[in-house]
Amino acid sequence: MRKIQLTAESKKDILDDLLKRSPNNYGEYESVVADIIEKVRTKGDEAVFSFTKQFDKWEIDQDKIRVTEEEIAEAFDQMDADFIGVMERAAANITAFHTKQLHNSWIDPRPDGSILGQKITPIAVSGVYVPGGKAAYPSSVLMNVLPAKAAGVKKIVMTTPAGADGKVNPGTLAAAKIAGVDEIYKVGGAQAIAAMAFGTQSIPKVDKIVGPGNIFVALAKKACFGYVSIDSIAGPSEILVIADETANPRYVAADLLSQAEHDELASAILITTCESLADQVSAEIEGFLQELSRADIIKKSLDNYGYQLIASSMDEAIEAANAIASEHLEILTKDPYQVMTRIENAGAIFLGEYSSEPLGDYYAGPNHILPTNGTAKFFSPLNVDDFMKKTSIISYSRQALEQAHQDIELFAAREGLTAHANSIKVRFQA
């Protein structure tokens, strides 16, 4: 990790460096993704089967594309009971948290006979993409599916790539069953996103696509936005820790490494008012790297996007944290709650030394699908509202409209929309 004195110039340089990781900077892949999407849109299953053979190296057809109940049962048989129990308890926490986010439709009748309101309705079909390959993340299945279930989505369709043997990771299938997925299809990559966006002979069209994936998946979601809704274009994982002299350097080091192990583009940043803490954290990191299984990835991540920023004051540290707008923000200070009140931009905030970031990844309940690459300045974590539609309700009586019709007619006239004005006017002509 590079140790840097925090200044306006160094903060700008770091922000520029972090933004290089954005999926928006991978335009060279867009033509490849566009070709895949167009072929799936026009040829349906034929294109899906062809791309699956090309990229995933197995023969797929209409009889093999959908995961069967027997395959799900087999997956449960392969999982140890302890892990199943952990997933069930995590699912209960996630469901409880997201259920509290629900809003009700409302109606506001007024004395003049007008009625205004809002009708809240869940989307009908949600699509979930789950990565496969070398790594499988059952936690992401729970985080993407359970908010949709809490919202009342009627049908949840999941796509995930199978291995060359045509089998899906058993942890992924077990999590899908626990979360309540209705249909699972063995398709990955940009072709899976296109299949859910447009529908094929085997895979139904969905209303929204959520879930993480590689650059091809991210660009496919971006290209299909408008045909369907999406959650976000996720970038590499990131963590920022604000710490003062009271922080435990071993805890800080462990927490920074928890995100650096994701991939070589992951970002881990420490902002501290105590330079000696930064030195102690560096020593702890060296010790951990001798024992962690993904040490090679961690080293490259820290070399590429790891920083220790030395701030002259906590005010300066907070200002920098708000500018970076990290996906995960840990506050390890004497009074973390006081610091938290001044944080404006973060995907998720973790307070105190026993609120390590993986608590949010797996178990506590809040969603771990979070805004990255500074988008916490205007995006939120995945939540129940992402699976709901809000419809406005308007009802005016003659009395209510009579009081407002001249205002509306004047507004329409000023915009040159005479048919708009006439639509109101005719109701009061003799």
Contacts of residue 162, Cβ cutoff 8 Å, sequence gap at least 6: 56, 58, 60, 132, 168, 186, 188
Closest among 97, 195, 87, 103 to 141, alpha carbons compared: 87
Closest among 138, 136, 137, 153 to 98, alpha carbons compared: 153
Q: Is 280 exposed, middle or buried (0-12, 13-18, 19+ CB in 10 A)?
A: middle
Q: Please indicate whether residue 328 is annotated as part of the active site.
A: yes
Catalytically annotated residue among 238, 327, 330, 357:
327
Fill in the DSSP letter of residue 206.
-
Q: Please indicate whether residue 183 is annotated as part of the active site.
A: no
Fill in the DSSP letter of residue 351.
E
Give the H or E element holding residue 270: strand 267-272
What's the order of all strands across the beta sheet hosting 348-351? 2-5, 306-310, 267-272, 238-243, 328-332, 348-351
CB-side neighbour CA atoms (13 Å) of 62: 7
| Residues 269, 300: Cα–Cα separation, whole Å | 14
What's 305-350 look like in SS3? HEEEEECCCHHHHHHHHHHHCCCEEEEECCCHHHHHCCCCCCCEEE
Q: Indicate the residue type of 40.
A: V
| Residues 1, 281: Cα–Cα separation, whole Å | 10
Q: How far apart are the first and last CA of the chain?
A: 80
Tokens at residue 43, please? 């040829």
Catalytically annotated residue among 238, 328, 330, 357:
328
- How many CB atoms within 10 Å of residue 51? 22
Q: Indicate the residue type of 263.
A: D
Q: Given the structure tokens 């979601």, which residue do they identify?
A: 221
Question: Could you list the active site residues?
Answer: 327-328
